[in-house]
Chain A
Amino acid sequence: MSRVETRRRGRAGGPSLWTLAAALVVIAMASFAGANRVGGEVGRLERAERLSFLLEARAYEQAALDSRAAASGAPDEATARRAAAVRRELTAALAELAALHPDNPAVPRVRAAAVDWQAALDTKQSLLGAGDLVAANRVDRAQIDPRFERLAWLLRTSAADYSRAAGAAQGRSTAGALAVVVAATLLSLALLWRVERARSRLRAAEARAWEERGRLVNKILTVAERQRSGMAAELHDGPIQSLTRLGLALERGQLRLRRGQLEEGRQLLADAQAALAAEVQSLRRMMATLRPPVLEERGLVSALSDYVEMVRQQAGISCTLAARLPGRLPEDTEIVLYRVAQEALTNVARHARASRVRVELADTTEAVVLEVHDDGIGFDPAAEQRGGLDHFGLAGMRERVELAGGTWTVWSKPGAGTVLTASLPKALVAA
């Protein structure tokens, strides 16, 4: 029993190329977004640090302006303008600092310290304006100096905190970038590995296809060679022997005629003529066997019908054909099925000692199926196979059907006849 199997190759394990490529894209997008986010945070922290320094510098400047005004008794116009500008800058810088990190508790503390300090400065200026120098000095020592020291300390601390936080954010950003690079590299390597594996699978599939093609070509050549040598043997045993024999008979007739044995000579020539006609008939049969014209002209069913009739007449076997085909099949398919039927019927006539043989040709939804049943002596297919024998041309039939993409099976048992089945899938038939 023989079958054509369609193998479906399983998918290789591990992530697919598309999964890996998608992961790379996700990582690239995430790292871009992360870099933007971290970059923004670092920028805000660095700005806050700069603002802290600026606030401290402006606080010192305001303190200096205040001292200058106190020393001269009353501030000149330029000093007063500058002092007002510095105070606006301080207010603006404090507002910007608060906006940068609204949740940072250090910012309200700085702002409160600045407000306290400036309130003390204002108090001092009022006392100076009233001419109460003693009270102004007291406010200077008791309120302004400690408040200024506190504000300066808060701003230095704040600048240092912002600097540390910016460094830490930068460090996180670097570690994140490194992780992204490592992940991307690993994924790229995996991607390359998958691509290389896919390419090597493709190469292997191509090699297998070439091997299969070579095997099929060899099979075809072997079958063709076997057919040619069978044809040569048939010509040797048939027409050449017969025609040679005919030549000798004609020569014998001539001899008789030369000797004046007219009646015998005429008889020999008449026999030779009959033998020649029989030989022409035999050659015609051989030609029809090689390629029956009816197969090409009227199709498989007519050709099989003729062949079945010939078997009935020549082998004296009750041979019937039951064919249900909606119409003509592709030429190649008709030839394959015709040859298989021909070989099977030849086997029946030569070896089966059957009294009845039935040929069935059916068109199912999946396949075109040919079956040849006989009630002959049968045989043991397993023994044939075990012994590597091919007494009945079974291998040739099977090869022919399998080369056409179909399946071929034989069922037989000694004393129980034989059933031979050839099935060509519809997909192939239609192709």
Chain B
Amino acid sequence: MTAPRVLLVDDNRGFRNELRLLLEDCGVEVVAEGENGQEAVELATRTGADVVLMDLRMPVMDGLEAARALRDQVPSLPVIILSAYEDPALKSEADAANAYAYLVKGCSGTLVLDTIEQAWASRPDAGRN
């Protein structure tokens, strides 16, 4: 079984770099990085990522809108929201957009890794990998 291929989307470049380094240290491949929701939608279809790890508040197109677009375009692709806001209303909106999980920034990298693994395993075509 190979490692999950992750699309990482966040408008904060420093945070994105740090997370990518940790994920790669743990054997997760970051196939692409984006700075906003619009890039997330484009890159998800183009790269064939297994999991999308995406921030919520971003310029151009925010994470919720991108999650809704991905739900419509690539329904099998799990989207994990990683937000600075610990807000039940935002979490509900993320649920409504069919997000796989809603993580709050500041959680441990291990939790992020575990969630990515679970999301990857939950894909309908997971067995074929």
Contacts and interface: CB of A to CB of B under 8 A. Distances in A.
A252 B109 contact: yes
Contacts of B21: 248, 252
B18 A249 contact: yes
Interface string A223-254: 00000000000001100111111011101100
B108 to A, nearest CB: 6
A245 B18 contact: yes
Given A236-B57, A248-B109, A252-B109, A241 B22 contact: no
A255 interface: yes
A247 B106 contact: yes
Contacts of A242: 14
B110 interface: yes
B114 interface: no
A252 B22 contact: yes
A241 B105 contact: yes
Contacts of B105: 240-241, 244
Nearest to B108: A251
Contacts of B90: none
A248 B14 CA distance: 11
Interface residues of A, number: 15
Contacts of B26: 255
B12 interface: yes
Q: Which residue of A240, A244, A245, A256 has the most chain B CB atoms within 10 A of its CB atom?
A: A244
A240 B106 contact: yes
Nearest to A239: B84
B30 to A, nearest CB: 13
B15 A245 contact: yes
A194 B14 CA distance: 74
Interface string B18-45: 1101100110000000000000000000
Nearest to B12: A241
B106 A244 contact: yes
A154 B12 CA distance: 128
Contacts of A252: 18, 21-22, 25, 109
B15 A251 contact: no
A242 B25 CA distance: 20
Nearest to A249: B18
Contact of B84 (A241, A247, A249): A241
Contacts of A249: 18
Contacts of A255: 22, 25-26
B22 A248 contact: yes
Interface in A347-383: none
A135 B85 CA distance: 148
A198 B84 CA distance: 60
Q: Which residue of B18, B22, B26, B106 has the most chain A CB atoms within 10 A of its CB atom?
A: B18
B14 A240 contact: no
Contacts of B110: 251
Q: Which residue of A236, A241, A245, A249 has the most chain B CB atoms within 10 A of its CB atom?
A: A241
B112 to A, nearest CB: 8
B15 A241 contact: yes
B26 to A, nearest CB: 7
A256 B21 CA distance: 12
A242 B84 CA distance: 11
- Nearest first, the 8 A-B pairs at minimum CB distance are A251-B109, A244-B105, A245-B18, A248-B18, A245-B15, A240-B84, A241-B12, A252-B22
30 contacts: A236-B57, A236-B84, A237-B12, A240-B84, A240-B105, A241-B84, A242-B14, A244-B15, A244-B84, A244-B105, A244-B106, A245-B12, A245-B14, A245-B15, A245-B19, A247-B106, A247-B109, A248-B15, A248-B18, A248-B22, A248-B109, A249-B18, A251-B22, A251-B110, A252-B21, A252-B22, A252-B109, A255-B25, A255-B26, A256-B25
Interface of B: 12, 14-15, 18-19, 21-22, 25-26, 57, 84-85, 105-106, 108-110
Interface of A: 236-237, 240-245, 247-249, 251-252, 255-256
